[in-house]
Structure 1
Amino acid sequence: MRTIDAEQARLMRARTQGIGGGLRGASVADVMDRAFAVQAQDASAAALGLRARAAGLTAEAVTRAADVERSVVRGWFMRGTLYLVSASDLRWLTRLLGPIFLKLSVRRYRELGLDDGALAHAEHLITSALATEGPLTRAELAERLAGAGLDPRGQVPFHLVRRCALLGQICHGPTRDDGEATFVLLDDWLPADDRPTLEAGSAAVELARRYLAAHAPAALEDFTTWSGLPAAMAHRAWKALADAEETVECEVAGQPCALPTERAAETPEPSLDVRLLPAYDNYLVGYRTRALSVAAPHERRVWPGGGQIRPTVTVDGLACATWSRRNGGRTVLLTPFGDLPDDVLTGIAAEEADIARFLGTGPYGGDREHNHRLTERL
């Protein structure tokens, strides 16, 4: 069994996520092919996560992919949280993960006073409204629910809309110019999927396969934490890949991990690849621990508490600073963990300029009026 040291493992992970080794996609589709799913609790962070993994991408291109081409869709997937995924992956992911998180939500529905009758009634109201009125925001759907006697306040509308998405009835649709997300009927928004339907076990194996393609080397515990699958289902999927010789075992920091077989001999070299990753980035949430990506003394700087994960500067996958945007994205405020060498500062300056270009706030902004609206949204 191959033993991989911490630096090598980090370099390999950075490459698989498209944030190291000089790898950058040429389009939204390229990035999604490599990353599989982009964390999207914050839509603006998701867009910046795509930028960090691409060359020459613009905010307008991200909007076009989601709202016009409909090639990517935002929805509740791994761990029941929001991700951006390729439209071709939405249905099988929902069939696999939806029932799991619906079951886990039953207690919360009861706490909110939502019995089976109320849930069914809300599902009918939401799908009927979207069928007759087209894309609607959560606030607009809450108004329709209130008109039928359901509580439009607090967490009730959120959970009712999310439930319809987990059931495969609805999905995120186009974003309004003011930045508000809308919802649409899934079958109206995306074409029917004529591929054979995967049963749950096969879908879990596919999820494990896609996870490793984007995150290896990784451990079973990493996959279980990231996916939110029940431990037994995750274990069976992991073992199925090994039994089929699709993966090989390796050891990272004393922990058994897996690698896709075709990458068994991979030995990447440091390349001083600097990236400005957004808040909640995939690379920082894709594993059970962050020991390889953030040195222990700096963890609280990246994870200050309250569920926050700050934007980070990484060099070959190792965090060296946090950052935030100022002046509408034109400048970056840097909080380094220590002295940064000149070549890293040069890389940060290049990334700062690229963020301004991406948002349309730099000298190559293109359509100023359109990009101003995008910048306000992002």
Structure 2
Amino acid sequence: MSHPDDDDSLSRARARAQLLGGGRRGKTAEDVVRRVFAIQAQDTTAAGLGIRARGQDLTARAVRAAYEQDRTIVRNWFMRGTLHTIPADDVGWVTRLLAPRVLAATRHRYRDLGLTDDLRHRTDALIGQALAAHGPLTRAELAERLAVIGVDPTGQTPFHLIRHAALTGLLCHGPLRAGEPTYVLLDDWLPAAGERGPTEDAALEELARRYLAAYAPATVDDFACWSGLAVGAARRAWQDLAQAAAIVTDGDATVLARRPEDTGDQAGSPDVRLLPAYDNYLTGYRTRQESVDAAFEARVWPGGGVIRPTVLLDGQVVGTWARGSGGRAIAVDPFSPLAAQIQVEVDREATAITRFLHPPPVSTMA
């Protein structure tokens, strides 16, 4: 897609689009999620840190309030059938667009587990009844109720049945309880989620537009890889945007013809961010070489599906990091020695993460 000499400018442009470069940051958790459209959210802590890295002085309390009190952002299974956080008012149309392909791709797994069409429909009904009667329930609590009709509460069976209920539009993630996710009825949690929104080709085009706003410069193959859509469907969305003169293509890379406004952004450099594990900056494209030097890929992707937390400098990954014992100390492992100015910014980010994960107690004094 690009020549080696172009990778630096490409990664800088992508970092800016993802609110990770050029001083760009969102003002609130909702603002961050809306501007980058989706935050990778397999892990609840990593999802919060992904929002933090893109926001201006955001606290964990503010992020949780966006999920649970304001309900402006929602965690559920979307792109590629994996957990993401997206704006609440996009849940309905995105689920209707992406879920059928995920469900079809999972049929062989359902068959292996003995989850027939009839059993899945019965468990959907039982899950709906349980959530309607008892409110938010954890995975273990739902598994206990499913055991009544003979569903094995151990292994992967409860997960697949809960995810099936989410992909069919029945439930979504609700409030955390003692740090553990719970599930709620989507229509109760977000009464407006059932509103139709864009459908069919219009929904495809809208998803492509949202992707380009948050990930460009990118290719149609990048979009297909990120979304989980068939390449043919992805190309159709690209064609629709091209016919509407909404995109500009230079070689293979595509950007929106009218880019989002950069109001309030500062173009200072260097821009250092500490990204969490599995961050979508590293999963939003088909290839990795534009953001991670090939010599260091194994230190970011050690195998087993793991993507380590990374140190990002102006769009380039320059190291990894981890939380030490107790989770308060941040240990940074740079690929090469860092300049003093960069180290100062890394230390500032590490302090911000510690403060985010371990905020000072709220004073109860008047």
Matches for 1:229-378 after TM superposition, within 5 Å: 229-251=229-251, 256-263=252-259, 271-361=269-359, 365-367=360-362
Q: Distance in 2 between matches of 1:233 and 1:20?
A: 31
Q: Report SS of the residue matched to 1:367.
A: coil
Q: Where does residue 192 of structure 2 map in the other structure? A: 192
The AA in structure 1 aligned to 2:30 is: A
Residues 271, 151 of structure 1: alpha-carbon distance in 2 compared, 3 angstrom cutoff? same
Q: Distance in 1 between matches of 2:259 and 2:196?
A: 29
Q: Distance in 2 between matches of 1:261 and 1:171?
A: 35
Matched, 1:131 2:129: no
Q: Where does residue 115 of structure 2 map in the other structure? A: 114
Q: Where does residue 99 of structure 1 map in the other structure? A: 100
Give how far 1:368 is off.
7.8
Q: Distance in 2 between matches of 1:308 and 1:196?
A: 36
TM-score (norm 2): 0.94
Q: Where does residue 56 of structure 1 map in the other structure? A: 57
Q: Report SS of the residue matched to 1:314.
A: strand
Answer yes or no: is the 8 Å Cα contact 1:270–1:316 preserved in 2. Answer: no
The AA in structure 2 aligned to 1:92 is: W
**Alignment RMSD:** 2.0
**Greater shift in the superposed pair: 163-172 or 193-202:** 193-202
Q: Distance in 1 between matches of 2:272 and 2:49?
A: 15
Residues 368, 321 of structure 1: alpha-carbon distance in 2 compared, 3 angstrom cutoff? farther
When the two structures are aligned, how many residues end up with a matched partner? 358
Give how far 1:24 is off.
1.1
Q: Distance in 1 between matches of 2:91 and 2:197?
A: 12
What CA deviation, in whole Å up to 9, does each residue of 1:316-353 have, x standing for no partner?
01011100112544321011101111111010011011
What CA deviation, in whole Å up to 9, does each residue of 1:81-126 have, x standing for no partner?
0001110111111111111111111111110011122111111111
Q: Distance in 2 between matches of 1:193 and 1:116?
A: 25
Give how far 1:192 is off.
2.1
Residues 194, 117 of structure 1: alpha-carbon distance in 2 compared, 3 angstrom cutoff? closer
Q: Where does residue 373 of structure 1 map in the other structure? A: none
Q: Report SS of the residue matched to 1:55.
A: coil
Q: Report SS of the residue matched to 1:285.
A: coil
Q: Report SS of the residue matched to 2:258.
A: helix
The AA in structure 2 aligned to 1:283 is: Y
Answer yes or no: is the 8 Å Cα contact 2:328–2:358 preserved in 1. Answer: no
Q: Where does residue 221 of structure 2 map in the other structure? A: 221
Residues 172, 269 of structure 1: alpha-carbon distance in 2 compared, 3 angstrom cutoff? closer
Q: Distance in 2 between matches of 1:151 and 1:194?
A: 31
The AA in structure 2 aligned to 1:341 is: A
**Greater shift in the superposed pair: 2-11 or 135-144:** 2-11
Answer yes or no: is the 8 Å Cα contact 2:218–2:254 preserved in 1. Answer: yes
Matches for 1:153-168 after TM superposition, within 5 Å: 153-168=154-169
Q: Where does residue 209 of structure 2 map in the other structure? A: 209
Q: Distance in 1 between matches of 2:321 and 2:35?
A: 25
Q: Distance in 2 between matches of 1:106 and 1:237?
A: 26
Q: Report SS of the residue matched to 1:5.
A: helix
Answer yes or no: is the 8 Å Cα contact 1:246–1:260 preserved in 2. Answer: yes
The AA in structure 1 aligned to 2:253 is: C
Give how far 1:263 is off.
4.4
Answer yes or no: is the 8 Å Cα contact 1:360–1:368 preserved in 2. Answer: no
TM-score (norm 1): 0.91
Structure 2 unaligned residues grouped into runs of 5+? none
Give how far 1:306 is off.
0.2
Q: Report SS of the residue matched to 1:41.
A: coil
Give how far 1:197 is off.
3.5
Q: Where does residue 24 of structure 2 map in the other structure? A: 23
Answer yes or no: is the 8 Å Cα contact 2:324–2:331 preserved in 1. Answer: yes
What CA deviation, in whole Å up to 9, does each residue of 1:68-88 have, x standing for no partner?
111111000000000011101
